[in-house]
Amino acid sequence: MPHIHLFPKVGELLDTIEHSPARVLGVGGGRGAGKSKGLDDIALTLGMETPKTLMAVVMRNYDQVRRYHIEPIIRSYPEIEGWMHYSGSKLMIPNGSQIDFTYAESLADVERRFRSANYKYIFCDQAEQFTGTELREMMLANRGAEGAKTILSFNMGGIGIQDLRNWFYAKKFNERDDPNNYQFIHVYPWDNLTWALPALKQDGLTEEDYFAWDHDQRFEYFIRRTDYGKQLNALDDAVRARDLLGSWESLEGAYFGRVFDYDKTMISQETAERLIRPWDHRWLSTDWGKSHYCSTHWHAKTTLTPQEARRELGWEVSKPIQVVVTYRRLIVNEMTSSEVGRAIVDATPRAEREQLRSYFLSPDAFGSRDSDNTIADYLGKEFKPYGLPQPEVADNQRIPGWQLMYALLNATRLYGTKPELRKEQPTGDTCWLISSECPEALETIPILMRNSKDLDDVVKTDKGQAVMAMDVADDLRYGLQSMLGSGVKPEKVKHAEKLMSMHSHTGYSQELTFAEIAFRNSQNQPEFSVSGRRRR
């Protein structure tokens, strides 16, 4: 029968679950604090201690719940493998208790999986990947049983972090919510003994020695004697505060933290398809990478009348608005430029290929070579037979690009707010919507951090590190800044400006802005044991 050994912070969480009157427990902080395994150990302990206890462990998608919970719990306790049923999605403990390993990729999924459920304990891992609306819907399945609780485990970043911050740190609730229902436990990477074991062995020290030290002593040992601690401690200040220290204040360093509203920015793919008309301006952008991730997104720009904005988005606007829609993505790794080119062609529906007007590619692809030709050359050769546009050098102005993204997201937030509740008015008429088919974009935007040495810029990762979020962020910046910004203009737009200047009798102003030109063009187209727990 399994022996479950709990590290002190996990034992503290178990004690809180069993004795605190709070119904919603937050467990958040730095990366690598052992939160996922801690949830598994607690669920297994509670299930074996109390017969007929129904629990759920939930994450955003199946791959996550399989890799971070189903497979690890069997590796840790192979003797319980026979308790797994229904393709590993349910752990049926012999005393009648049950742990459901599940996932929910959208609000509709949350409603379908939890609306009729009745769990005593719900363990939501990486809760920052869920919106506040989704988490509240999940909590409603926590009913009936005495002592029922929802445990939200999270890192300091993600689409739901502002809601989590309001509940567990800022203590901001609506007038009908009870603040006493929320309790928070801060966890740190150095609470997880796993990272320190090799160094402790070298130093002739034990687990008892490690946990006999105070918080500061364990922190110093972690950053000086463990490989993972050294990596986290070497991060840029803003990212270090988030990933190492798990600081709530680090959220103030989120570049788009004040303007990104997931619920207003994210639209379904069906909505995206209704918004984009065949004559609207469409384009592509790519941040090239072979050892890094190669990220490509498809974008379009359309115009919505007040009636269309109300019907499609539920927005109340008084005039037509311009809407940029990012509606498709392709993210690959370890592929040649020709393979990437073919993948982009295959991902673009035949009817759409000739509708794409521009393709903005990161500047490095025009100098990097797979052989005799540049990356851009090979991509262009793959595109040409299918009518896709040839690569153009993307506008790589970082600060104007981030500022443009900020302005677009702020406009989305304000236009999506009821007029009587707007504390400020949108300063531009262009906003940005992102399809649910682009989850990496939606997950990347809220975790981008300000550079503490230049607050107008986003922290850059080391070029030797493959970080998907940064590659996606650069790709989005290229796509928006190159088409909508005031820097490098697409060749087709330059050509249009030249024609207008030669034929001023057509009635067009020779001083039309780039954005106006782009818009005009667009209109033309069990026995067990447990140690380490607390006892009262």
Copy the structure tokens of residue 383: 């595109």
Co-location of 81 and 124 in the same domain: yes
Count helices and strands (H / E) in the chain: 23, 19
pLDDT tens-digit profile of 448-502? 988 878 889 998 765 444 478 899 999 999 999 999 986 544 455 455 445 444 4
> Could you tell me the two tokens for 8?
């002190």
* DSSP letter, residue 486: S
Mean pLDDT of the chain: 88
Looking at the DSSP bridge assignments, the partners of residue 26 are: 152, 184
CA distance 260 to 516: 25
DSSP 301: E
CA–CA distance, 110 with 203 (Å, rounded to integer): 48
The DSSP annotation for 420-476 comes to GG-SS--SSSEEEEEETT-HHHHHHGGG-BEETTEEEEEPPPPTTS--HHHHHHHHH
Give yes or no for a contact between 32 and 189, defined as CB atoms under 8 angstroms apart: yes
> What is the domain range of residue 141?
3-187
Shared domain for 165 and 231, answered yes or no, is: no
Within a domain: residue 156? yes
Residue 511 pLDDT greater than 90, yes or no: no
- Which of 160, 187, 214 is the last residue before a domain boundary? 187
Q: Are residues 378 and 442 in the same domain?
A: yes
So what's the pLDDT on residue 505? 37
Domain count, the chain: 3
Residues 432 and 407 in one domain: yes
Is 276 in the same domain as 383?
Answer: yes
Q: 493, 515 in Cβ contact below 8 A? A: no
Q: Do 207 and 318 belong together in one domain? A: no
Q: With a cut of 50, say whether residue 520 has pLDDT above it.
A: no
Residue 286 is part of a domain; what is its CATH number? Answer: 3.30.420
Same domain for 154 and 201: no
Q: 360 CB contacts (<8 Å, ≥6 apart)?
A: 283, 284, 285, 286, 391, 392, 393, 394, 395, 478, 479, 482, 483, 490
Asked if residue 308 and residue 220 are part of one domain, the reply reads no
287 & 240 share domain: no
**Residue at 527 is within a domain:** no
In a domain, 172, yes or no: yes
Higher-confidence residue of 391 and 508: namely: 391
Please report whether residue 180 resides in a domain.
Answer: yes
Choosing from 139, 166, 187, the residue where a domain stops is 187
In this structure, what token pair is assigned to residue 420?
Answer: 């009587």
Closest CA to 480 of 275, 269, 281: 281
Tell me whether residue 514 is in a domain: no
SS3 label, residue 507: coil
Assigned token pair, 426: 């949108």
Q: What is the pLDDT of residue 371?
A: 54
Cα 255 to chain centroid, rounded: 14
Residue that wins the pLDDT comparison between 155 and 239: 155
Same domain for 32 and 127?
yes
CA distance 35 to 38: 5
**Is residue 503 a part of any domain in this protein?**
no
Of the candidates 210, 236, 253, which is a domain's last residue?
253
Regarding whether 240 and 273 lie in a shared domain, the answer is: no
Q: Is residue 341 part of a domain?
A: yes
pLDDT (mean) for 260-280 = 94
150 belongs to a structural domain: yes
pLDDT, tens digit, for every residue of 77-104?
A: 999 999 998 777 999 999 999 999 999 9
Round to whole Å and give the CA distance between 502 and 495: 11
CATH number, position 18: 3.40.50.300
Grade residue 512 by pLDDT with cuts at 50, 70 and 90. Answer: very low
Pair 298, 434 in one domain: yes
